[in-house]
Structure 1
């Protein structure tokens, strides 16, 4: 379709060129006319009397409005749509630190999708995956971004009206960065920096310069979450015990003095200040307010409240009110639940997002973003988060949002069927798991990786008929693959995963039954099934590899390769053990003589198969790497 945009187009011309292929439009003075107005107020997309109209305040509003205009122009001759943005910032945080480092091309694809949806901010979460020239081992062999790569991403984003904000860590979550010898003198524990050590702040100044230099923004996320062991390592040996809130404040003051020198405006995750909010908090005065001396000790930083666990709106409202005791409204970070394991947990993502964003609107929160974490290997492709990005986008522009509306818009913005995507949650939301998988059972990951002979989770899945469940999913994903051609590779991956689990989910239970009954014929049949599982797992690995190398740098795939390789070689050994028993060379299979117990690890959930997205606790009861 040829379009002619006239009027206030100077701020959107470069972005239009980038998006023309995605929108399937050509820019021509001979095209259908659309009058463009850059003005304050709601965004507007209209078509009347043979001419289009688009009004926008920020460039990102224009690109969303253009999407609305094109979507409606396909079916309606005349229309007049307006939307009022509910937030001043609404964006995405993409994890580039858990093995998967998206390529520049993949970041650009995400930026295009965000522009069409109307999301205006992108953070790349980089613990050690950006280049710091003074520390060559920082991010070594981890796929770190160069300054030039980040600068290219920032320029691309700016053309689309999207602000890119660096997102790093300046206290904890630095295990991979601190594992090398260069960091021995300034680390407190394996993943936390040593507070008050001069070399710590030399290191951080280099990091802050390197992380901020590629970007035009002055905002920077400096992390500081989940430092539960702060001051309990080398700091304790050198200085004795000190309360973590005091340590946090003093360290934060030192870091903020660096960001001040660099002209940066920092934000931090707020969770380490949660002890201030407790009802019996020693940090409150008699009136229930945070003590003045505590408030004066917290530097001028923006607080980011993250929560993607609760489905009760009142929980978020109370937490927002608590944050306001510190003097300002926080930024809110929700979650797309791309880190459940091998498949997205859409049920929990939607339930928590609906509650949280309703609370944001109720409490006047103005800035939000959705996190795409990749815990324990980034096994779920980040692209699977697209329906949840659409959910955030619709909440950004509407007071009330229905899933039907999200689904309708995803057809256009995401080029896929929302209902087909929702079926992916059934890989983990299996029989035995509560609605919406609120306890984060990662059934598919457990059943793929667990050993077929030792079967640490076999007692958890006994009687749930999970093999039949996964067998029924195979044609569901096969059909989705056909009906979502833009997402063929993703549905092909999950179709193959379902095919593997249809056989593997209960294979350990079947092996044990045949062994205890001395049923040699059944065991011979199981060997044939094991051959099929082995072939299908290798095919799954290859399909997963295709998706990985299309989207990410190669570094990190070796971890996933080793995991798949572990499944394949263990199947080989399981077949060997069974064959030895069948042919009488051994009288007992010791692994099968052990009495089976339910998996009872620290992450075990009340109703699910298993929680705790940790590979090494799935594959063995032994000591995996120490």
Structure 2
């Protein structure tokens, strides 16, 4: 524990320092190393040590904790130093998805906030579609791990001590399917996931949501969502009002929402995409030909516009879309992303390339607020803290004009206890042979191969000939000998090591079963039968490892969805054993599943080159219908 004697007025950071001292590995001691602390007005930040005493010049609480962390790192590396940084943005933060089944528990959120403090990130949004308590509606967030008001206040207090603004991030138009599926909401629905615009009861409902979401927090800002409302005005609204211009419906609804935010003294921001989708002939947010009429722009109420883009690697694309947004005469906020929603593993290559391009464009175009989204699409299978390498880059680009990746890697190891290159091994779960460099076309290889059926193998033809089994065998060995020792993150690496272990045996089992069956090679069939029996055990061990990391960071709600997937995988492996044994014993004269000629995988996603595919769980496990009428 490094002993420091902080001098000058430290009252602003005292509470935060007490909160995070153990995490930083320091203690305050009058006999410790003298460290002068000065608050400055400008955005140039300094941290120094001359061999006897130190200096930190900070601009805000959040920048203080970043500089203190960097000061500690440099002190441990060298005898003396004099370094500076410059804040590139006024706000730089993180948005955590708490709506895709994985809801961070309070300890999990505090752990993430600790890492954010080390990095100097100063804003965190909780994306909660229905996972916050609204006392008027007991079914809102029912059995979904919704946050209580007390939990939200506790997290806000914790973040505030470290200079981090916690902002509610909700939905007030679409993405509300789980909230609207109950009887209480039947009269305020346009479609299954969109509220009925223009109804007094709808705005009473949304008033209660906005009040409940915002009152636990100090911040007077709120993200009101409103993205991807594709069916706006096409359901019950159309029955009641006929076909109307959807720009007009959008502006009318937004005006009502802004009345509510004004009532509570809140400053709203919203996702911007629906304006551009309505202005596109194809409904594409990134359609270069999309046009938002000037009269529509003139009638948009006062709200900040959040431009979200974590897809493009070309700075010019961000320049074009930022210019489009700035023409709306609203404050523009940029949302990038660390790809925690690719599947079961993070995609650092895509994250790094899009982050570098997006933030470079933001700096050039005068954007003052940025944040990184950590979505959890299709079940929240990826642990949130696996995003740390992407957050390190996002933060460093927020304090430095350019980032030296070698320096970043060294500082990352100081921050996490793990060499950067060891975290990057997680890239290899999806960036397998046959996948392009940096996984730019977002192949979800590990998710595909974990969940796909051993007999039906929807992706077998797509991955055949790429040697993915051998790839996972090598990766499993590498992950088994990693040197990091941070207890916060150990469970994550235990989980991913077991993912690689399972895939080293499961990745090509369907291909091998089909080959053995077609050749009537009974010896190979018996070998694969033995593998299938072993995989039943390995899949169950993987389930336990995944459960351990989930329960460590998340509330237990939502785990049932992932566990059902494991149960299905284990049961289907058991049926594979049952079917193959029956065939080998002569009880069956053929295996209908293996009589089929396998086709390359096809779904609505444009897969492009250099990817084995992606999609939702339901698309990976069966060609049939998983659920529904």
Q: Same fold (TM over 0.5)?
A: yes
Corresponding residue number in structure 2 for 1:226: 228
Q: Deviations over 1:148-184 (max 9, x none)?
A: 0000000111100110000000000111111111111
Partner residue of 1:550 out of 540, 549, 552:
552
Partner residue of 1:211 out of 210, 213, 217:
213
Task: Check whether the contact 1:604–1:610 (CA below 8 A) recurs between aligned residues.
Answer: no
Corresponding residue number in structure 2 for 1:2: 3
Task: Check whether the contact 2:448–2:614 (CA below 8 A) recurs between aligned residues.
Answer: no
Corresponding residue number in structure 2 for 1:29: 30
Corresponding residue number in structure 2 for 1:494: 496
- In the TM superposition, residue 396 of structure 1 has moved relative to its aligned partner by 0.6
Instruction: Indicate how the Cα distance of structure 1 residues 103 and 279 shifts in structure 2: closer, same or farther if over 3 A, else same.
Output: closer
Instruction: Indicate how the Cα distance of structure 1 residues 609 and 586 shifts in structure 2: closer, same or farther if over 3 A, else same.
Output: farther
Corresponding residue number in structure 2 for 1:584: 586
Corresponding residue number in structure 2 for 1:399: 401
Task: Check whether the contact 2:463–2:612 (CA below 8 A) recurs between aligned residues.
Answer: no
3-state SS of 1:11 partner: helix
Q: Partners of 2:243 and 2:572 in 1: how far apart?
A: 47
Structure 1 residues not aligned, in runs of 5+: 282-287
Q: Partners of 1:543 and 1:39 in 2: how far apart?
A: 47
Partner residue of 2:89 out of 77, 84, 87:
87
Task: Check whether the contact 1:277–1:322 (CA below 8 A) recurs between aligned residues.
Answer: no
Task: Check whether the contact 2:418–2:483 (CA below 8 A) recurs between aligned residues.
Answer: no
- In the TM superposition, residue 68 of structure 1 has moved relative to its aligned partner by 1.3
Corresponding residue number in structure 2 for 1:192: 194
Corresponding residue number in structure 2 for 1:420: 422
3-state SS of 1:2 partner: strand
- In the TM superposition, residue 611 of structure 1 has moved relative to its aligned partner by 3.5
Corresponding residue number in structure 2 for 1:440: 442
- In the TM superposition, residue 378 of structure 1 has moved relative to its aligned partner by 0.6
Q: Partners of 2:459 and 2:611 in 1: how far apart?
A: 8
- In the TM superposition, residue 279 of structure 1 has moved relative to its aligned partner by 11
Instruction: Indicate how the Cα distance of structure 1 residues 48 and 575 shifts in structure 2: closer, same or farther if over 3 A, else same.
Output: same
Task: Check whether the contact 2:312–2:354 (CA below 8 A) recurs between aligned residues.
Answer: yes
Task: Check whether the contact 1:46–1:80 (CA below 8 A) recurs between aligned residues.
Answer: yes
- TM-score of the superposed pair, with normalisation by structure 1: 0.97
Corresponding residue number in structure 2 for 1:376: 378
Task: Check whether the contact 1:97–1:128 (CA below 8 A) recurs between aligned residues.
Answer: yes
Q: Deviations over 1:480-529 (max 9, x none)?
A: 25566653322221111111111111101111111111111211111111
Corresponding residue number in structure 2 for 1:73: 75
Q: Partners of 1:580 and 1:603 in 2: how far apart?
A: 38
Partner residue of 1:611 out of 610, 613, 617:
613
Q: Partners of 1:173 and 1:500 in 2: how far apart?
A: 35
Q: Partners of 1:404 and 1:279 in 2: how far apart?
A: 45
Instruction: Indicate how the Cα distance of structure 1 residues 243 and 560 shifts in structure 2: closer, same or farther if over 3 A, else same.
Output: same
Alignment of structure 1 residues 432-511 onto 2, 5 Å? 432-480=434-482, 487-511=489-513
Q: Partners of 1:226 and 1:93 in 2: how far apart?
A: 17
Q: Partners of 2:395 and 2:305 in 1: how far apart?
A: 22
Q: Partners of 1:280 and 1:152 in 2: how far apart?
A: 45
Q: Partners of 1:115 and 1:191 in 2: how far apart?
A: 36
Q: Partners of 1:542 and 1:236 in 2: how far apart?
A: 48
Deviates more, 1:408-417 or 1:256-265: 408-417
- TM-score of the superposed pair, with normalisation by structure 2: 0.96
Instruction: Indicate how the Cα distance of structure 1 residues 202 and 485 shifts in structure 2: closer, same or farther if over 3 A, else same.
Output: closer
Corresponding residue number in structure 2 for 1:39: 40
Q: Partners of 2:251 and 2:114 in 1: how far apart?
A: 39
Q: Partners of 2:253 and 2:588 in 1: how far apart?
A: 62
Task: Check whether the contact 1:304–1:331 (CA below 8 A) recurs between aligned residues.
Answer: yes
Corresponding residue number in structure 1 for 2:286: none
Corresponding residue number in structure 1 for 2:287: none
Corresponding residue number in structure 1 for 2:272: 270
Corresponding residue number in structure 2 for 1:523: 525
3-state SS of 2:167 partner: strand
Q: Partners of 1:199 and 1:138 in 2: how far apart?
A: 16
Q: Partners of 1:604 and 1:319 in 2: how far apart?
A: 22
3-state SS of 2:77 partner: coil
Task: Check whether the contact 1:604–1:612 (CA below 8 A) recurs between aligned residues.
Answer: no
Alignment of structure 1 residues 295-374 onto 2, 5 Å? 295-374=297-376
Task: Check whether the contact 2:174–2:228 (CA below 8 A) recurs between aligned residues.
Answer: yes
3-state SS of 2:433 partner: coil
- In the TM superposition, residue 414 of structure 1 has moved relative to its aligned partner by 2.5
Equivalent pairs, count: 620
